Structure 1
Amino acid sequence: MRVLFLVIGLTVTNCHIISDYQEPNFTNEEPDDFSYYLNDVPDFEIVHFSNFPSPTHVEHPLEIKIFGNTLNLRLRRNELLTAPNFKALVKDDVDRELNFTGKSNCHFLHKDENFMAAISFCQDQQAQGILFLPNDTFEIQPVPVSKPHTYNVPHLVRRIPFLPEVFTNDVSSVILPLEENQQKFKRDENGGSKKLTIEAALFFDEAAYKLFAPYFKYNDEELTNMLLAYMNAIQALYHHPSLKQAIDIVLVKLEIFKKQPADLPHYDGERSQLLDSFCAYNQKHNPKDDKNPSHWDMGLYVSGLDFFAYENGRKSGVTMGLATVGGVCMDKYNCVIAELGTTNVFGKPYPSAGFTSVYVLAHEIGHNIGMHHDSTGNNCPKEGYIMSPSRGTNGETLWSSCSANIMRTMGWAKCLEDAPSKPAKKLDHTKYGKQPGVVWGAKKQCEVLLRDSDAEIYNPAELEGICENLRCKTPHRSGFYFAGPALEGTSCGDSKSCQGGKCAAQKKQPTQNVVKGGWSNWTNVSECSSACIQRSKGFMPRRRTCTNPKPVNTDEGCEGSGYEVVLCMDDKLCKNKRQKINEFASKKCKQFSKLLPELDKNASGLQATYESDRLWMSCAIFCRRKNSNSYYTPRFELNDLHEDPYFPDGTWCHSDGKINHYCIQHHCLPENFKLTKGILPDDDLLLPQNAKPNAKPASDNLMKYFSIDLNKTPLLKILKPESEEPKDDDDEWFDEDYIEIPGLDL
């Protein structure tokens, strides 16, 4: 089993996304930009502001007319929105500070007996903010247009759907600067306990950056938003009622390592040495005085490395994190390491690969604030809760009574009682309102798990089950992948969302107009490409998006796939340089043998005979096994690597005497085959492709199913997936993921 490692959370202002707004005056918006503003709530109006504050204004009057009402605001500049000592850095050969704070004098607040507002004017002629009315909340955003406006920029004001308790804490913190004495922080007197806040510093290492940066097209702000959603999900867990007392988590520092710091060696992921290394780095760079606004209570090292430990003389790779129990207020021990985005050597994702890692990190935070495993020194059950000693991808989304009991005895953690400064708006994870799934929906969570923009829900008909375990697929791989419980707020059906691991009905909302999604036109991803194999053709991948129109107030999306491959003539590309198919296969088998030593690197590869009930057969590359008279296709082992175990699209694979067949997305299909719904024939490898804690060889049946003899005859034609699917056993991920501090009795 993989070890759980500790991580920390932050606080965020509510952020929602709105969907396709289409008005005759605004037809040239860039769809990718505009889709940020319009999502599932079509209740909006377009307004124009007649005046904007100057940089010297401390107060500014503003009139807004929306939905038949006139709101008169008297805005006052918010001097405390951005913490003066906050730093967000990208560390490379030359360190660069991320400029998220904007102008320091552009944030304004309004409060009266009727409503409240927070509006920022940080860009010329543009406003962004939130209006809090007694029974409604509205968001203000500038409408993105293709041509820049020098004045009178149109703004969209839309009604935000109600989410239980999303705004409660945010409203009070927004109002703080308006109080006469500008008090720093009021303690929560509920039950006589003090309000606890973890001030966190997050360090995203070079290995993790290399994993995620390509997916986000090397956009540091997009990567930061993903980290904020990730931390916000942890915050939501620490606000769950099952914990009895909430803990706020605020980001004080964020560093993204494009290049690993010289004083922070990673030891290739050996967990004990890495934790010691990070703890030393954390202590070195953390200001000593807890009263220093730049000081943090807990350092979080989030890594793309595959952690491991040596147990009984053997290397074990089941660990996912490491933390000390009760180390939060000690300079030497307030440090945690955790995996994010990790896969095994074959590219198969561990439970820490996607948003499941938020449960891992919440678990590790629990250790650092004094929690032990359920069933260890207490009477709570071993399974079913966040502090379970194992962590797979199933359930465990609530806190046990033992964890809640620890929260009632936190008087020793004095460092958590001081009030933090409000973080910079764009570096504030509370913008997801403890409901990150509203913004990071099920498809987006699948994309993060597989780092693949084509990834999606495995079976949209099983939406209600995603709150316990989300399953994902991609057209580029076989089988499916467990992503773990979907994030809080993820839509799981009509008027339903994931809450505490369950698909729960949302509070009744006004009837909303439903707009079914429609596909855009296909767009070629690249020009015609070819491997120049004899009798074959070239291929062109192309994509389409569900944006014509974009679905509104429905989870159905568009039927079919947004990715396909079409054939093209490659004569100009290949001319007289075509290779035999066995030559191509032999070269690939030699490459495969570097990863799979059981393959004979000196033997030739070959193409299998076409089979109508297994369309992948004649598109898979078969390689000779050492000391064997059979050929084997490593579909299972190489499914998640960049080494493709198939012939390229466009490879000739069969002829029925009339029509030639070619490989298209790993299937041997007729040349004129049309995907009427954009859906390929069912894949026969319907098995979970997640990494297992202890690597096991493929079963005998699986080996035979993927093998042929010297006459190209299959050794096994029928495979029952249910007989090959491993039984869920999260105990396999069990490990001691914490370190006891000598002399500390909690």
Structure 2
Amino acid sequence: MEHDNGSIDSTCPNGKYIMSDWQYLRGQVTWSACSRNITKNLWKEKPCLFDHTRREETDDPYVLGHSRYHDLPGREWTAKAQCELFLRDKDANVVTLHDVCQVLQCETPDRNRNFFAGPALDGTNCALGKECRGGECMAVITPPYIFSYCEDDNWSEWKEDSCKSNCLTKSKGVVIKRRFCKHGIYKTASCDGPYYDVVLCNDSSLCTEERFTIAEYTALKCTELSLKIKRQGKEYFKYEPLNEPGKQASHVVEEPWRACTIHCLREEEISANYSLFFFYAPRQEMLDLKIEPYFPDGTWCHEKDGQNYYCRQHYCLPENNSIEE
């Protein structure tokens, strides 16, 4: 197999498919036409490709076959289980399920930063009643089969971290809660329900100095994005720190992620004498450059009828609202 860049079929774009010579954090889960053309010849030249990957000493046809997951391996290998494999750490956890079908964000107590894996497996829970399929978060399908779950698999007690805060204006701190699915003394991945939650907390004792403003936070993130993009020689992003380089968008009920996603000012040159400036959320660009594209959990994002809304797992929710509601 050859990389798409410079492959026998030069019409295949680089960066989009599995055989790209550059690894990105999103996409790259399908084969390009170039790779498919190569594979067609391999079927003729390499008869071993027809071999079955199963043990001869067992009568179970699904022991080593991908078909045992019925194209939905994420139903048995949850997002947390995928993070454990990615970081080779049983204490690894998922940062958020938002955008998980495009890019899986993992963390571990042993290292103080987030790690970005590729897209979550098809069948991975991505929202209430939804699962990943083909990179999209879609309604769960009911297949004519059921995965075998054990009734003895149970959740552990919730474990809570201490209250933490980024000390932004009007915002609150957050407590991260985690639990794991277990079978006896062993961890497994077959329990239903959330294994990661965010609870608001009072951060007044943590934020004794003047709080950072939303404008300062967005300026920092958008300027970081601008500098990294310019280092790559891409000049279509232009930010002026004195000209409000970023902002927090207004809350939209139908798009609860909007007010918790950083929006940056972009200049698009229409002609030699005219440019168009507009704000937009560069989530994909920031994730590709390993920049967090969201406001921290606990950030104030909306107010309605005297009730404040705060970002939790990148969704703008009422203060007393559960993410499952």
Same fold by TM (over 0.5)?
yes
Amino acid aligned to 2:203: D
Q: Is the 8 A contact 1:471 1:480 kept in 2?
A: yes
1:601 paired to 2:239: yes
Amino acid aligned to 1:350: Q
Q: Is the 8 A contact 2:17 2:29 kept in 1?
A: no
Partner of residue 624, structure 1:
265
Q: Is the 8 A contact 1:621 1:633 kept in 2?
A: yes
Shift of residue 481, structure 1, vs aligned partner? 6.5
Shift of residue 637, structure 1, vs aligned partner? 3.3
Amino acid aligned to 2:146: D
Match of residue 146, structure 2, among 470, 494, 499: 494
Match of residue 343, structure 1, among 20, 23, 26: 23
Q: Is the 8 A contact 1:343 1:349 kept in 2?
A: no
Match of residue 155, structure 2, among 498, 519, 532: 519
Partner of residue 541, structure 1:
176
Partner of residue 564, structure 1:
197
Q: Which runs of 5+ in 2 are unaligned?
A: 102-119, 136-142, 230-234, 268-274
Give the 3-state SS of the residue equivalent to 2:290 in structure 1.
coil
Q: What is the distance in 1 between the residues matched to 2:262 and 2:278? A: 13
Amino acid aligned to 1:614: E
Q: Which runs of 5+ in 1 are unaligned?
A: 6-270, 272-306, 322-337, 361-372, 375-381, 390-398, 408-428, 459-468, 484-490, 497-512, 681-746
Shift of residue 309, structure 1, vs aligned partner? 4.0
Match of residue 255, structure 2, among 606, 614, 618: 614
Q: Classify 1:400/1:550 alpha carbon distance in 2 versus 1 (closer, same or farther; 3 Å).
A: farther
C-alpha distance after superposition, 1:439-491 (max 9, x if no partner): 9x644486279767539997xxxxxxxxxx95155769xx95748xxxxxxx9
Shift of residue 647, structure 1, vs aligned partner? 0.9
Q: What is the distance in 2 between the residues matched to 1:493 and 1:515? A: 18
Q: Classify 1:666/1:405 alpha carbon distance in 2 versus 1 (closer, same or farther; 3 Å).
A: closer
Amino acid aligned to 2:205: K
Q: Classify 1:402/1:450 alpha carbon distance in 2 versus 1 (closer, same or farther; 3 Å).
A: same
Give the 3-state SS of the residue equivalent to 2:40 in structure 1.
coil
Match of residue 658, structure 1, among 290, 306, 319: 306
1:435 paired to 2:64: yes
Q: Classify 1:665/1:641 alpha carbon distance in 2 versus 1 (closer, same or farther; 3 Å).
A: farther
Root mean square deviation of aligned Cα: 5.1
Shift of residue 642, structure 1, vs aligned partner? 3.2
Q: What is the distance in 2 between the residues matched to 1:406 and 1:521? A: 47
Q: What is the distance in 2 between the residues matched to 1:445 and 1:520? A: 16
Partner of residue 529, structure 1:
164
Q: Is the 8 A contact 1:309 1:319 kept in 2?
A: no
Give the 3-state SS of the residue equivalent to 1:590 in structure 2.
helix
Q: Is the 8 A contact 1:309 1:317 kept in 2?
A: no
Shift of residue 569, structure 1, vs aligned partner? 1.6
Partner of residue 586, structure 1:
219
C-alpha distance after superposition, 1:227-283 (max 9, x if no partner): xxxxxxxxxxxxxxxxxxxxxxxxxxxxxxxxxxxxxxxxxxxx7xxxxxxxxxxxx
Identity, % of aligned positions: 26
Partner of residue 122, structure 2:
471
Q: Classify 1:308/1:402 alpha carbon distance in 2 versus 1 (closer, same or farther; 3 Å).
A: closer
Q: Is the 8 A contact 1:653 1:662 kept in 2?
A: yes
Partner of residue 646, structure 1:
294
Amino acid aligned to 2:170: R
Partner of residue 175, structure 1:
none
- The correspondence of residues 65-76 of structure 1 with structure 2, limited to 5 A, is none
Give the 3-state SS of the residue equivalent to 1:547 in structure 2.
strand
Partner of residue 108, structure 2:
none
Shift of residue 544, structure 1, vs aligned partner? 1.3
Q: Classify 1:664/1:320 alpha carbon distance in 2 versus 1 (closer, same or farther; 3 Å).
A: closer
Q: Classify 1:634/1:659 alpha carbon distance in 2 versus 1 (closer, same or farther; 3 Å).
A: same
Give the 3-state SS of the residue equivalent to 1:630 in structure 2.
strand
Q: Which has the higher contact order (CA 8 A, sep 6+)?
A: 1
Shift of residue 316, structure 1, vs aligned partner? 4.4
Q: Classify 1:445/1:388 alpha carbon distance in 2 versus 1 (closer, same or farther; 3 Å).
A: farther
Shift of residue 601, structure 1, vs aligned partner? 2.5
Q: Classify 1:343/1:523 alpha carbon distance in 2 versus 1 (closer, same or farther; 3 Å).
A: farther
Amino acid aligned to 1:674: S
Q: Classify 1:556/1:543 alpha carbon distance in 2 versus 1 (closer, same or farther; 3 Å).
A: closer
Amino acid aligned to 1:600: K
Shift of residue 667, structure 1, vs aligned partner? 0.9
- The correspondence of residues 269-280 of structure 1 with structure 2, limited to 5 A, is none
Q: Is the 8 A contact 1:349 1:450 kept in 2?
A: no
Q: Classify 1:657/1:481 alpha carbon distance in 2 versus 1 (closer, same or farther; 3 Å).
A: same
Q: What is the distance in 1 between the residues matched to 2:173 and 2:222? A: 22
Shift of residue 534, structure 1, vs aligned partner? 0.7
What is the TM-score of this pair, normalised by structure 2? 0.59
Give the 3-state SS of the residue equivalent to 1:594 in structure 2.
helix
What is the TM-score of this pair, normalised by structure 1? 0.29
Q: Count the aligned residue pairs.
A: 258
Amino acid aligned to 1:601: Y
Partner of residue 669, structure 1:
317
Partner of residue 138, structure 2:
none
Shift of residue 595, structure 1, vs aligned partner? 4.3
Give the 3-state SS of the residue equivalent to 1:637 in structure 2.
helix
Q: What is the distance in 2 between the residues matched to 1:310 and 1:600? A: 34
Partner of residue 577, structure 1:
210
Q: Is the 8 A contact 2:181 2:189 kept in 1?
A: no
Shift of residue 567, structure 1, vs aligned partner? 1.2
C-alpha distance after superposition, 1:561-606 (max 9, x if no partner): 2111111221122112201111111111111223455333324211
Q: Classify 1:406/1:585 alpha carbon distance in 2 versus 1 (closer, same or farther; 3 Å).
A: closer
Q: What is the distance in 1 between the residues matched to 2:153 and 2:170? A: 40
Q: What is the distance in 2 between the residues matched to 1:572 and 1:566? A: 17
Q: Is the 8 A contact 2:152 2:183 kept in 1?
A: no
Higher Rg of the two aligned structures: 1
Q: Is the 8 A contact 2:266 2:277 kept in 1?
A: yes
Q: What is the distance in 1 between the residues matched to 2:48 and 2:152? A: 48
C-alpha distance after superposition, 1:639-663 (max 9, x if no partner): 4653121111001111223221111
Q: Is the 8 A contact 1:309 1:315 kept in 2?
A: no
